[in-house]
Amino acid sequence: MEAIVTQFFNIEIMVKALPLVLQGFGITLLICVVVIPLGLVGGLLAALASVSQNRALRWSAIAFVDLFRAVPPLVLLIFIYAGLPFAGLSLSPFAAVAIGFFLNNSAYFAEIFRAGLLSVHKGQTEAARSTGLTQTQALIHVVLPQATRNVLPDLMSNVVEVIKLTSLASVVSLGEMLHAAGLVRSLTYNASPLVLAAVIYLVMLWPVVRLISRFERRIAS
């Protein structure tokens, strides 16, 4: 029992680790701020393409989504960071993470947006078009607000997944939070910094998870 406390809940070590872990937390936040909007925009565009009338566009979008949903993000990240230099393209760790997550996130967000777009009845667009709105105006003012609202819990759950996935950035030595915590652990031979990182994740994500449950209940009722 005592061993667990000293190994995992050692306050002294946590306090020492805190500055480094917080620095890592800053980088985690930075990755999230870049990667989540990119993924949302990419996902929305891919979803729109996947329901378009244009066959070539539709199929490219579906191929893109299938491919990047099937490739494990860890492999994708290593490939972009360590593989592309062989093709003459060297990227900074941050750029590699941004691109890798953009591709992976877009594919997942696209599936969610696609379900949302398909959930809006065709009569909605027809009503809008019958009053003179263009296809784009009908999309912006009528279809997208409903589509987004219908899949809001799924979008938010995916955001939580993405935040947790940012820890993968450690494989390309980007010093995000888990990377920092792991570093302190290997210096101290003590797992407490990892627990500290977990607590910070929990504090950050718990409100979001609660919010999702509330939305889900509201939509169910």
Partner 1 sequence: MTQAAQGAVAPPTLTVRGLRKSFGAEEVLKGIDLTIARSELVFVLGPSGSGKSTMLRCCNRLEEPDAGEITLEGDPVTGPKVDLNRLRLRMGMVFQAFNLYPHLSALSNVTLALRKVRRLPRAKAEALGLAALDRVGLKAKAGSYPAQLSGGQQQRVAIARALALEPSVMLFDEPTSALDPELVGDVLAVMQDMKAQGMTMLVVSHEMKFARDAADRVIFMDAGRIVEEGSPEQIFEAPQHERTETFLARFSGRG
Interface residues with partner 1 (CB under 8 A) are 121, 123-124, 126-134, 137, 141-142, 145-146, 149
At its nearest, how many Å lie between partner 1 and the CB of residue 135?
10
Q: How far is the CB of 145 from partner 1 (least distance, A)?
A: 5
Q: What is the C-alpha separation between 193 and 10, in angstroms, rounded?
A: 9
CA-CA distance, 10 to 188, in Å (whole number)? 11
Look at residues 194, 169, 175 and name the one whose alpha carbon lies nearest to residue 184.
194
Question: Least separation, in Å, of the C-beta of 142 and partner 1?
Answer: 6
Least separation, in Å, of the C-beta of 151 and partner 1? 14
Smallest separation, CB 12 to partner 1 (Å)? 54
Instruction: Name the residue nearer to partner 1 (CB basis): 16 or 129.
Output: 129
Nearer to partner 1, 52 or 135 (CB): 135
75 vs 140 by CB, closer to partner 1: 140
If the CB atoms of residues 90 and 134 are measured against partner 1, the closer one turns out to be 134
Choice between 144 and 204, CB closer to partner 1 = 144
